[in-house]
Amino acid sequence: MTVYLDNMATTPVDRRVLDAMLPYFCDRFGNAASKTHSFGNDAAMAVERAREQVAALLAAQPREIIFTAGATESNNLALKGVAEYVGHGHIITCKTEHKAVLDVCHSLEERGFSLTYLDVDRDGCIDINALDEAIRDDTILVSLMAANNEVGTVHPLAQIGALCKRRGVLWHCDAAQAVGKVPLDVRALGIDLLSLSAHKLYGPKGEGALYVRSRAPRVRLKAQLEGGGQERGLRAGTLNVPAIVGVGEACRLAQLELAEEGVKLLDLRCKLYERFCSELTGVELNGHESERLPGNLSVCFSAVDGAELLVRLGDIAISSGSACSSDSPVPSPVLAAMGRSAEQARSTLRFGLGRFTTESEIDYVAGRVIEEVLRLRGDGSTFCERQLTPSGESVAI
């Protein structure tokens, strides 16, 4: 038996999404910019329908959705677009952001922009008061993610939005891990720019979008790709119509199934963690106990080498952290920022449950992990000092 539990890295394309995409490869193959014939108009209509579907999931307006090649490009367009349009100033981000944000911030810092990198607590949460204190008269942008890709912690989004609005600062939110998994209303939350990636919500790889607020305030960006005038002049290049149809359908399905899917994933995640805690010692949860993505479980198994455990669990697709940094010999910067030791970071595994995860798969994974952890430790201890409450919170016993 093989089990896929690395849905934080990528999700399989939902068959319904694939079915929606297929006609636009061969039968309805027009260029959306070719408005002089039916082939092009058909493609253009498909793009606009997808724009409406993405906007509906975010409670945005269709004209506020710009299609990109994924969250990495969206992050680049958001951060560099704002910075270059203004020309100078101060940007605030967090030490646990994804590399697609941090690397852009480092680049802007080298170009003369001032950067502040906020700390987090042991649960991976920022301090709202620290954010308030960090905002300066020349602050032009705050870039804080919705949910962490490694440990699943969800930031206090409403508080961030309210603070940024009160202080008159734009907020960019990398929501690649959160879109389609937790409710996101960009108006209610006060988000000015939001990045998403299709392959994190059962759509195709290589496609994403950037939400850009059009009023109160209207956000202005400097384009990073020029040459064709597509996407309101903010992202030149022939539109990938099949992939855009795919991200639209993925967002439509997510809007329909988000609540039910969230309950299912929370139940399965709690069951998996409860098995670990009931049959193993030295099990520690990484990330906030309750304010976290329903399908994310990051666990430290003390006295175990995570790399060796991964090798022994070759029949299970899991990771030691972010897919974008899992091949690095350096311990996770996210776990380090949360105060975990290098040893704890090396003992951590990330389980990413998804839409197609079954209860029987969770039973199998729990058994296999427990079996291999006990073998690596060379003992048969099964007592744990923590357990889950029915709500999913971890409490000492």
Lowest model confidence (mean pLDDT) among 272-286, 303-317, 328-342, 373-387: 373-387
Lowest model confidence (mean pLDDT) among 105-114, 201-210, 351-360, 378-387: 378-387
Burial 366-387 (b: 16+ CB within 10 A, else e): bebbbebbbeebeeeeeebebe
Residues 23-80 pLDDT 10s: 999 999 999 999 999 999 999 999 999 999 999 999 999 999 999 999 999 999 999 9
pLDDT at 228: 84
Judge residue 340's burial from the number of C-beta atoms within 10 Å of its C-beta, 0-12 exposed, 13-18 middle, 19 or more buried.
buried
- At residue 301, the 3 state secondary structure works out as strand
Catalytic (active site) residue 270 = no
pLDDT at 395: 45
DSSP secondary structure string, 123-136?
TSPPPHHHHHHH--
State whether CATH 3.40.1350.10 applies to domain 15-254.
no
Name the band, by pLDDT with cuts 50, 70 and 90, for residue 338: very high
Q: Where are the domains of the chain?
A: 3-8+258-396, 15-254
pLDDT at 328: 56
Has residue 397 got a pLDDT over 70?
no
Distance, CA of 195 to CA of 82 (rounded, Å) = 14
pLDDT at 396: 37
- At residue 311, the 3 state secondary structure works out as helix
Residues 6+ apart with CB under 8 A from 241: 24, 28, 29, 30, 32, 43, 46, 47
Residues 6+ apart with CB under 8 A from 167: 132, 135, 139
Q: Which of 94, 164, 251, 324 is catalytic?
A: 324
pLDDT at 30: 96
> Homologous superfamily of 3-8+258-396 in CATH?
Aspartate Aminotransferase, domain 1 (3.90.1150.10)
Q: Which residues are bridge partners to 4 per DSSP?
A: 317
Cβ atoms of residues 313 and 369 within 8 Å: yes
Distance, CA of 368 to CA of 304 (rounded, Å) = 15
pLDDT at 386: 39
Has residue 367 got a pLDDT over 60?
yes
pLDDT at 322: 47
What is the percentage of the chain residues whose pLDDT exceeds 70?
93
What average pLDDT does range 290-312 have in this prediction?
96
Nearest to 331 by CA among 340, 320, 342: 342
Distance, CA of 129 to CA of 66 (rounded, Å) = 33
pLDDT at 327: 55
pTM of the predicted protein model: 0.92
Average pLDDT, the chain: 93
Q: How long a stretch of residues is the chain?
A: 397
Has residue 198 got a pLDDT over 80?
yes
Has residue 263 got a pLDDT over 90?
yes
Q: Residue ranges of the alpha helices (H) in 280-377?
A: 306-312, 333-337, 342-346, 359-377
Distance, CA of 62 to CA of 65 (rounded, Å) = 6
Lowest model confidence (mean pLDDT) among 89-98, 114-123, 257-266, 326-335: 326-335
Has residue 234 got a pLDDT over 60?
yes
